[in-house]
Structure 1
Amino acid sequence: MSVDVVTHLNFRGEAREALTFYQSVFAGDIALVTYQDAGNVTDPSEADQVMWGQVAADNGFRVMAYDVPSRMPWNRGENSFFVSLRGKTAEEVTAHWEKLSDGATVVQPLGPAQWAPLYGMLVDRFGITWVVDVVNR
């Protein structure tokens, strides 16, 4: 038996933009269902927001996201979670790092670390903290 763990990101009106950005970084297929698509509109101004969305790539990358309706509490939070991105080669990791860094705040520049050939941390333009490294085997 196996289990897949998928990071689920919560936004307030930015889910479509975030998923499109992550698809541009990692490739793969994007799937979106709006509140209107699902027949679940409670606020007409939010009808085109994402009720369920996902990016899934052949390289194993997968992330889900939705727009929290305005009737529900939501706060971007601070250090509430990190998304860990681990690759097998420096080239693979560096390519993703360069794309993720667009509009990001770099917390720890990508470079050698005691525990990994490459390690870095950034907060992307959507406020999501990414921990990026090369698997040390």
Structure 2
Amino acid sequence: MATVNVYLTFNGNCREAFDFYKSVFGGEYPYIGTFGEMPPQEGMEMSEEDKNKIMHVTLPISKETVLMGSDTGGEWASDFTMGNNFSVSINAESKDEANTLFNGLSEGGNVTMPLADTFWGAYFGMFTDKFGINWMVNYDDPAKMQQHP
């Protein structure tokens, strides 16, 4: 069965927000990375400011739940709206389950990133459903995750 968590999006202050959440919940970041640490994208120039923004951060807040987040930037920044800056993130237990959930929930909605293998080793996609809710579907293939710590 899939797990569900909240994914928060910020407009440049993700690190500040997650440091605050960490001060309240405690714990450590199993992962925090910036856009500048990403592999270069062909035809995509990034400002120094955007390179320092958070691409992804994870903060466990209970045995079952993690807060995840990132900053927005570049072409995505114009879509940022405070108050609607979160997504429901589903971590599937198989690629088939990821496909079923993604295809079912995105029906009648707007796919913003089709499911595909990513540079970080996951099978991942994003969409807004027909009710305006933002979703992320992820499957971490254990074989690929061992190659990408």
Structure number with higher helix proportion: 2
Higher gyration radius (CA): 1
